[in-house]
């Protein structure tokens, strides 16, 4: 993998932070500056394909995934079709999600109220974590 240098502070410590206009966006870990470099065109990282399909299976809508990953909902719809992903329809439960950093995630799990009954799925998301919880629709 090519090392990307932050144009703001010249640090090479950065993380991938979504796709914007078909360009990989990075976030500098030193100064928090966002920048995008490589034109990746039609070839999007497998990471984003896997992550999109994972979130889709967890019950998130195309628009939600688009907002979270910065991937066009059209791309996601195409991948769902291409890989023939089917999710069971369930009208009694719906997913809710939170995006937390490592410390917040640790705190979340120390409170057993948060994980009682439902349980959660945690997936990595750039330098943060996404926590998905299924809840029964309230009557
Ligand atoms: Zn920087």
Mean pLDDT by 10 residues, the chain (139 residues): 72 86 85 74 71 91 89 90 86 84 93 81 87 77
Residue 8 has what DSSP assignment?
Answer: T
**∠ at Cα 36 (32, 37), nearest 5°?**
130
Rounded distance, CA 34 to CA 42, Å? 22
Q: What distances in angstroms separate CA 8 from CA 23, 34, 92, one per listed residue?
A: 18, 9, 49
Compute, in angstroms, the gap from residue 56 CA to the centroid of ligand 1: 33
What separation in Å is there between the alpha carbon of 111 and the centre of ligand 1? 35
Whole-number Cα distances in Å, 9 to 18, 31, 34, 66, 102: 21, 7, 11, 30, 25
Q: What is the pLDDT of residue 42?
A: 47
Task: Report the alpha-carbon distance of residue 101 to residue 65 in Å, rounded.
Answer: 19
| pLDDT at position 1 | 46
- Domain 1-41 in CATH 1.20.1250: no
- How far does residue 4's CA lie from ligand 1's centre (Å)? 11
Between the CA of 70 and the centroid of ligand 1 the distance, in Å, is 21
Ligand 1 centroid–CA 58 distance in Å is 34
pLDDT of residue 120: 86
Give distance in angstroms: CA of 12 to centre of ligand 1: 8
Query: What's the gap in Å between 102 CA and the centre of ligand 1?
Result: 21
User: Distance between terminal CA atoms of the chain?
Assistant: 51
CA 8, CA 137: separation in Å to the nearest integer? 47
């Amino acid at each position: 993998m090519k090392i990307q240098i932050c144009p703001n502070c010249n640090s090479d410590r950065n993380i991938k932070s979504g796709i914007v206009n078909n360009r990989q966006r990075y976030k500098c870990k030193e100064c928090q500056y966002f920048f995008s470099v490589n034109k990746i065109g039609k070839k999007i990282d497998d990471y984003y394909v896997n992550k999109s399909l994972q979130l889709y299976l967890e019950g998130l809508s195309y628009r939600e995934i688009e907002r979270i990953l910065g991937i066009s909902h059209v791309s996601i719809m195409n991948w769902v079709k291409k890989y023939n992903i089917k999710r069971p329809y369930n009208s009694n439960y719906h997913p809710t999600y939170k995006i937390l950093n490592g410390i917040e995630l640790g705190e979340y799990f120390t409170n057993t109220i948060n994980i009682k009954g439902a349980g959660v799925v945690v997936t990595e998301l750039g330098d943060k974590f996404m926590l998905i919880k299924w809840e029964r629709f309230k009557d």
